[in-house]
Amino acid sequence: MSSVKENARKAATAPGVNHDKKTASFRRSNTHKSAMSLYAKDRHKKVAKGLGFALTLGDESAWHGLTIILMARLNETERASLAFATLNSLSENHAYMTASAALFGTPYGEAAE
């Protein structure tokens, strides 16, 4: 058991080991950044943050605000892909009602004229 402690002590004091706590914490924080923070486009990060706010607040105003963010930050193909994925995550009935409400303002298809 003493050899384990002795080996650890030798490793901690070996040449090249950094004893500067400020530098060590900086290095540690940089190695644990997410792929999103390192590689995602800035506009995608802003969309993700907006989605987080809308989910957290959960009110009509927050979802309307997200709509504005999506229109400003994503191109039409990206928004269509997001809508497609979201509708596919719903039951058929709920997806139909959601799409109808978005397109026609009524949950059951085109509004009668």
Average pLDDT across the chain, whole number: 83
Among candidate residues 75, 52, 76, the one with its CA nearest the CA of residue 62: 52
At 36-61, the pLDDT tens digits run: 888 999 999 999 999 999 999 999 99
Is the pLDDT at 28 greater than 60? The verdict is no
What percent of the chain is predicted at pLDDT more than 90?
58
Can you tell me the distance from the alpha carbon of 56 to that of 43, in angstroms, rounded to the nearest whole number? 20
62 Rama sector, left if φ>0, alpha if ψ -120 to 50, beta otherwise: alpha
Other C-beta atoms lying within 10 Å of the C-beta of residue 57: 13
For residue 7, the model assigns a pLDDT of: 64
Give 69-79 pLDDT, tens digit per residue. Answer: 999 999 999 99
